[in-house]
């Protein structure tokens, strides 16, 4: 009779986990100033994603009219739409009637 012998195996498992860190999405700030009026900002939030569209509408005080935008963007358009591709500072300018 042949005796059966148990076979013992030792396994060493080496696992290396690799990952590619995801790039953090760029977040930009919009600074809007206005003397003698205000500006409606839509959407109005602290930071914007790259490429996000922001709409600005000037609201003059009584006795003033909107004369244009200055700063990072110069425009005479009443409604300003900005694609946020960097920190942006815009001033709504108003003049007396």
Give domain status of residue 57, yes or no. yes
**What is the tally of structural domains in the chain?**
1
CA 54, CA 30: separation in Å to the nearest integer?
9
What was the pLDDT predicted at 7? Answer: 62
Its domain, for residue 31, covers 27-96
Give domain status of residue 6, yes or no. no
Give domain status of residue 74, yes or no. yes
67's tokens: 């004369």
DSSP calls for 71-84: ESS-B--SSEEEE-
Give domain status of residue 59, yes or no. yes
> What are the pLDDT digits (tens) for 9-56?
555 655 555 555 666 678 999 999 999 999 999 999 999 999 999 999
Q: Is the dihedral of CA 78, 64, 45, 84 positive or negative?
A: positive
Give domain status of residue 68, yes or no. yes
Angle among Cα 35, 56, 40 to the nearest 5 degrees reads 65
Task: Tell the burial category of 69 from Cβ atoms under 10 Å away from its Cβ (0-12, 13-18, 19+).
Answer: buried
> What are the pLDDT digits (tens) for 62-74?
999 999 999 999 9
> What are the pLDDT digits (tens) for 45-61?
999 999 999 999 999 99
């Amino acid at each position: 009779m042949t005796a059966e012998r148990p076979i013992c195996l030792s396994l060493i498992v080496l696992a290396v986990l690799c990952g590619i860190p995801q790039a953090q999405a760029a977040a930009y700030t919009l600074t809007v100033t206005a003397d003698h009026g205000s500006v409606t900002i839509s959407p109005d939030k602290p930071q914007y994603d790259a490429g996000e569209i922001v709409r600005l509408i000037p609201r003059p005080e009584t006795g003033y009219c909107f004369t244009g935008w200055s700063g990072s963007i110069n425009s005479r358009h009443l409604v300003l739409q900005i694609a946020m591709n960097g920190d942006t500072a815009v001033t709504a300018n108003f003049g007396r009637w």
